[in-house]
Structure 1
């Protein structure tokens, strides 16, 4: 009997959900728990995405009826992703399978409370309540889910990252900020450019490396308008090797988002021992304590963002202290081993035995 059918975006793709699934695969979780993976989405054309989804519906139905997996584990975020995955969860439930709904992405609260009408809110609550377990990234997200759908059974499994060996300090470039994320307003990238314009006169060598896809043309135009084009490098999408190289070179990691779940890029930067400047949104405040293992600024507060970056650029000892504490936080709470153990415990709670 197949143990686990896992469903989500293609693990070789881009974004935080793909990174989580790829992390599970690389850590051997698929083999230990006999996981069969079905991709419902990939970075491609609209027609290809539609074909993938239709194929996934039939594959999930066939696997649930023919192989009867013990658990159907679905990774989702909001909006179209939730619409796709909630349909597959309904199919799995109709086939009598236990289901795990794994929530990612920082926009789910807004999607569920503000963007959705009465019928969609009913469907979201029904999906949450009828899942055997709802995995959230933090205690605060778990609390929200239980308030929104009181019958939901939540289980907290934080995102995790591998912790690399301590890098050589010599690899770090002076006055180099690193942003990893989609180039859009919700990630705070335009606020970051405004803060750069404030800081460049004080730090003439300052550079911002911006890794990620999105509206890069708008970023370029904004940098030109602010007269900082020569201080901004658009890297485009970066793969794991380039990401690690950029983290090694970075003086400070910055992600001034308006909405987040628990960003993988932030955890990767912390694991690399970098001082981080982030916003207290989503599950970030449960990972970053202001002044202890990073700096927190409110979303949209350009002056505070510039101030936090200024403090770190000017104080190597502060950067080192925060970076060391950030790495220790990941080792203690967000290592791959800790997350895998927590997820395995959920599977056991649902009656699945490892190696059986």
Structure 2
């Protein structure tokens, strides 16, 4: 299995970390290779070349049954697609695992004819393509009809039930890159609308992005004293913030199936999110979350306000969220699906 460092930032790192902690690599006799390094372009190039050499060497010497890459868009895609090509040259089964919420934009708008051909070829030539939701599977099948697409959602560790006594009223938690695509500016505007009705309303932001612009916008809206900008936080800090939050909110314009949302649901938190990407396949409005249109600060304020003024609704939605994770996204459920795919691919090649 190939991807970014489990100790790094972002959804892929979180997914791999969950698998690692659950013992998936030991169960499947799998080795994990890190192909991306933060730092200068030269350092990144060195890490990519080292990974290519490792993949080629392992494929030739150890002949693994499956080479499985986790990929997003742009540079991530090009690095991983070349590794898959090397693995195919060595006769190995290959799995392309898509995580990037912007892959549609990358494939259809940013890529020229040659790049689109390479994208379609990579998808079609892979032994299997994993995507996080049926909506993304439909898109990939339209883009590359020959692709063998399998839907396997991200896995989530289910922690002990939340302690209601630790929650702070009207405290909103946002986790992720604080930029326009994630809807952070609509969330700030919604907070400004909610403040007069809910004096305790507060927003905590855990993530990177243009945090100076976020702070400036909060100041302009008159809610700077209600906003805590933490920057990127580690897993221990994330758990602590989730324990205190009344609601998790991620009003994105596009998504795959966000790990931050799934983790918040697993922690027994009511979530307010937008029906984009794979989210509508996980969230039923009013049952295990609240859905609001992207880009609509008024609707976002109304959705958050419903949960703040109706504690029974908030508790019911939170319980529904956690039950959804246990039934569909728990680590054991997802790991069994991935193990089944590995067995199928290995048997098909006679390994």
Whether TM-score is above 0.5 comes out as yes
Aligned partner of residue 41 in structure 1, secondary structure: coil
Moved more, 160-169 or 261-270: 160-169
Instruction: Provide the aligned length of Structure 1 versus Structure 2.
Output: 349
Provide the C-alpha distance between the structure 2 equivalents of 1:132 and 1:293, rounded to a whole number of angstroms.
35
Secondary structure at the aligned position of 1:325 is classed as helix
Once residues 347 and 305 of structure 2 are traced to their aligned partners in structure 1, the CA distance between those partners, rounded to angstroms, is: 51
Shift of 1:12: 1.0
Q: Does the residue aligned with 1:324 lie in a helix, a strand or coil?
A: helix
Q: Tell whether 2:95 aligns with 1:95.
A: no
Structure 1 SS opposite 2:197: coil
Alignment of 1:113 onto 2:108: yes
1:64 maps to 2:59: yes
Q: What SS does structure 1 have at the residue aligned with 2:31? A: strand
CA contact (8 A) 2:87 2:94 kept: yes
2:27 aligned residue: 32
- Listed as ranges, the matches of 1:66-85 within 5 Å are 66-85=61-80
Distance 2:211 2:69 in 1: 31
2:41 aligned to 43, 46, 63, which one?
46
Residue in structure 2 matching 1:159, options 154, 175, 184: 154
Whether the aligned pair in 2 keeps the contact of 1:193 and 1:223 (CA below 8 Å) is: yes
**What residue is the counterpart of 2:232 in the other structure?**
237
1:132 aligned onto 2:127: yes
Q: 2:306 aligns with which of 311, 315, 326?
A: 311
Show CA shifts across 1:289-339 (max 9, x none).
Answer: 111111111110111001101111111111000000010000000000100
Q: Secondary structure at the match of 1:210?
A: strand
Residue 352 (structure 1) shift: 5.6
CA contact (8 A) 2:73 2:106 kept: yes
Q: C-alpha separation between the residues in 2 aligned to 1:204 and 1:169?
A: 20
**254, 258, 261: which one pairs with 2:256?**
261
Q: Say whether the 8 Å CA contact 1:14–1:43 is kept in structure 2.
A: no
Shift of residue 47, structure 1, vs aligned partner = 2.7
8 Å Cα contact 2:93-2:346 kept in structure 1 = no
Q: Check the 8 A contact 1:13/1:42 in 2, yes or no.
A: no
> Are the equivalent residues in 1 in contact too, given 2:66–2:346 (CA < 8 A)?
no
Give the Cα–Cα distance (whole angstroms) in 2 for the partners of residues 158 and 241 of structure 1.
Answer: 24
C-alpha distance in 2 between matches for 1:237 and 1:46: 22
> 1:267: how far off?
0.4
Contact between 2:129 and 2:149, CA under 8 Å: does it hold in 1?
A: yes
Map 1:302-341 onto structure 2 (within 5 A). Answer: 302-341=297-336
Structure 1 window deviating more from structure 2 (317-326 vs 37-46): it is 37-46
- Supply the RMSD in Å over aligned alpha carbons: 1.3
User: Structure 2 vs 1, CA of residues 352 and 30 (structure 1 numbering), >3 Å: closer, same or farther?
Assistant: farther
- Matched residues in 1 for 2:30 and 2:243: separation? 34
1:195 maps to which of 190, 201, 223: 190
Deviations 1:179-207 (A, max 9, x none): 00011111111111111111112212211
CA distance in 2, matches of 1:190, 1:96: 49
Matched residues in 1 for 2:56 and 2:221: separation? 54
Matches within 5 A, 1:282-293: 282-293=277-288
Q: Structure 1: state its 5+ residue gaps.
A: 1-5
* Aligned-partner Cα distance in 2 for 1:14–1:46: 18
- Name the counterpart of 1:207: 202
Check conservation: 1:160, 1:336, Cα contact below 8 A: yes
Correspondence for 2:118: 123
2:171 aligns to what? 176
Query: Deviations along 1:194-232, whole A, 9 cap, x unmatched?
Result: 111111122122110000111111111111111111000
TM-score (normalizing by structure 2): 0.97
